[in-house]
Amino acid sequence: MKDRVAIVTGGSRGIGRAICLALAERGAKVVAAARSADALMELTEEARRRELSGSIEPAVLNVTDHTAIDPFVDGVAERLGRVDILVNNAGITRDGLAMSMDDAQFDEVLTTNLRAVFWLTRAVTRLMVRQRYGRIINIGSVSGLMGNPGQANYAASKAGLIGLTKSLAKELGRRKITCNVVAPGFVNTDMTVALPEKLKEGAKELIPLGRFGDVAEIAAVVAFLADDAASYITGQVIVVDGGLHM
């Protein structure tokens, strides 16, 4: 992956942070995009301490601002010469029962988790088509495959992501651009740490491996799909959930 240029959204924390480090460890030039400049600075300092073979460049970006997307992608291409890998990781939850969920709760999640993915992918594929090379990896969720009470908006956004990815895989395959989804289950992040202990223990009982995943385990799958070794894999949903969905 040496000298490949990657954009990772939601790159400052949790799974996104681990993905940035995994790609840079393998030699990629990573542009980590997120809203928090402070969190991005911590990430780049960690990358320097590790003396990775690649690099991590911070970029403050609000993915829901569609007017910022094209200038951001064009700027990356101008500075680094190309864009080889896009990891759409930025996502939010606004949980609540469907019967009491308001339009703002639904729309905010769909905009961040699905519309923004479309905007970024549209901008990046214009470059990848000319290059005749690209890796697009969308971070989904098992909620998009099996649904989840209180997450009608989130599950809809992640299910939509699967349909978007499969359509893109068919459109872009002949240009040597692969598009895949990585669908994590329960992973140890700030989001799951905040869950009630009783709920976490109940969830672990449903997971054949009996534990939550680690962000590095998700990042390793993303790094594989971003590598040339995965050049014959496209349109797939790779579930990384300890067997929960099974």
Mind telling me the catalytic residues? 154
Helices 14-25 and 37-50, axial angle in degrees (round to 10): 30
CA torsion sign for 109, 59, 10, 14 is negative
Tokens 């600075």, located at residue: 41
Structure tokens at 63: 């993915």
Handedness of CA 157, 161, 163, 167 (dihedral sign): positive
Q: Which residues contact 36 (CB under 8 A, 6 or more apart)?
A: 12, 13, 60
- Tokens 């890998």 locate to 85
Check the CA dihedral 40-42-44-50 and report its sign: negative
Q: What is the DSSP letter of 134?
A: E
